[in-house]
């Protein structure tokens, strides 16, 4: 089973590993990365609104944003899985780990230290060195950096997973993926609803093995009109169920505003099918994307897609800066404030990444 080839405009290498899917490029991958990073920023802009339970208008704006974008992190992992597990180079463990250590290890160390210092400067947290070390051990030195521990974990497992799936037929791989998602969903429900257990730096990646494998397995699922309609239906219904279900679950007489946010989890009962459907639709849209995004549009998408990892790393600092400037509060129209904040954060982060890439001493961190 190999990654479908749909043209040659952009580089379809994983921005973290540098692994190429094939000798030709896949523009849908770059589109998927851009959509995913924009959705990540929407989540980080919308999440504070959900905590404002006294303002129902703001709460619903945040709830709709959160419900409609929770597929983004699983999508990033599925993209990496599709590229990495399909590559014959992945099974060469020594070479793979050497590339991954260079591409991921340096940014991981630099950004963990940077955000520990940044958090201390802007909020006083972590207050002590012990607290800083504890946050790293928990795999969450800043709210978004857990993703680095997820990618590091699936990277360690990648050569073994690639060796296994490349020797199995599609149905065997799909059955294993289904089992992995069931286990991830149960684990997530126990942790979120019953407050049993908590992930740490070593275990954060485990549930995402399901997404990583799905990124490979779904590449070979053939599109049909009925399957396309079903995937669109899953996305629409899943988003609506997440939004309405979250409103119900967060009521004081149900689960309340804490545990009631369970459906926002990346492995909740509604997020998993939506994430899979979004990924599958993007895979199936490859030929259309290649045909319609040509020339400058294709090049622009390729640039933004390749910068997605760097944008992910820097955008929380940009959001804090925008908040300190009062930009989100300059309008009382919440949807407009959300769009303005997301647009500015994405644009400034993109420029910052492109500038950093021109500086030889720091280009390796983005």
Q: DSSP labels for 138-182? A: TT-SSTTTHHHHHHHHHHHHHHHHHHHHTTS-HHHHHHHHHHHHH
**Within a 10 A sphere around the Cβ of 182, how many other Cβ atoms?**
12
pLDDT, mean of residues 252-258: 92
Tokens describing residue 57: 């208008």
DSSP string, 109-133: HHHHHHHHHHHHHHH--S-SHHHHH
**Dihedral sign (CA 85, 88, 93, 94):** negative
Q: How far apart are CA 199 and CA 221, in angstroms?
A: 32
173 within 8 A of 165, measured Cβ to Cβ: yes
pLDDT of residue 22: 43
pLDDT computed for residue 151 by the predictor: 96
Report the distance separating Cα 258 and Cα 316, nearest Å. 23
Give which of 271, 349, 336, 305 is closest to 28, Cα–Cα.
Answer: 305
Evaluated on CA atoms 94, 98, 100, 106, the torsion sign reads positive
pTM: 0.92
For the stretch 87-140, pLDDT in tens is: 989 988 999 999 888 889 999 999 999 999 999 999 999 999 999 999 999 999
pLDDT in tens, 142-175: 999 999 999 999 999 999 999 999 888 888 999 9
């Amino acid at each position: 089973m190999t990654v479908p080839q749909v043209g040659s405009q952009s580089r379809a290498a994983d921005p973290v590993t540098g692994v190429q899917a094939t000798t030709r490029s896949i523009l849908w991958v770059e589109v998927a990365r851009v959509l995913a990073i924009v959705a990540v920023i929407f989540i980080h802009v919308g999440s504070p609104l959900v905590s404002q339970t006294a303002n129902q208008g703001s709460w619903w704006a945040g709830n709709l944003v959160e419900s409609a974008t929770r597929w983004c992190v699983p999508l990033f992992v599925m993209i990496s899985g599709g590229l990495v597990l399909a590559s014959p180079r992945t099974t060469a463990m020594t070479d793979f780990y050497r590339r991954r250590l260079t591409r991921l290890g340096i940014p991981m160390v630099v950004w963990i230290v940077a955000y520990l210092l940044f958090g201390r400067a802007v909020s006083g947290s972590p207050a002590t060195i012990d607290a800083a070390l504890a946050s790293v051990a928990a795999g969450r030195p800043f709210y978004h950096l857990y993703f680095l521990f997820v990618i590091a974990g699936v990277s360690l497992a990648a050569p073994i997973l690639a060796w296994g799936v490349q020797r199995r037929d599609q149905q065997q791989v799909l059955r294993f993926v289904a089992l992995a998602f069931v286990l991830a969903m149960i684990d997530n429900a126990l942790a979120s609803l019953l407050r049993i257990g908590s992930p740490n730096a070593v275990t954060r990646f485990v549930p995402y093995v399901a997404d990583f494998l799905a990124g490979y397995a779904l590449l070979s699922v053939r599109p049909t009109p009925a399957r396309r309609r079903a995937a669109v239906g899953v996305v629409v219904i899943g988003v609506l169920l997440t939004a309405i279900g979250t409103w119900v679950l967060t009521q004081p007489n149900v689960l309340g505003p804490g545990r009631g946010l369970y459906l926002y989890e990346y492995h909740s009962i509604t997020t998993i099918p939506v994430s899979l459907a979004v990924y599958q639709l993007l895979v199936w849209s490859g030929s259309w994307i290649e045909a319609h995004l040509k020339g400058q549009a294709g090049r622009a998408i390729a640039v933004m897609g390749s910068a997605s990892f760097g944008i992910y790393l820097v955008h929380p600092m940009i959001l804090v800066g925008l908040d300190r400037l009062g930009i989100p509060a300059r309008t009382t129209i919440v949807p407009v404030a959300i769009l303005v904040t997301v647009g500015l954060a994405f644009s400034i982060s993109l420029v910052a990444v492109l500038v950093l890439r021109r500086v030889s001493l720091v280009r390796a961190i983005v």
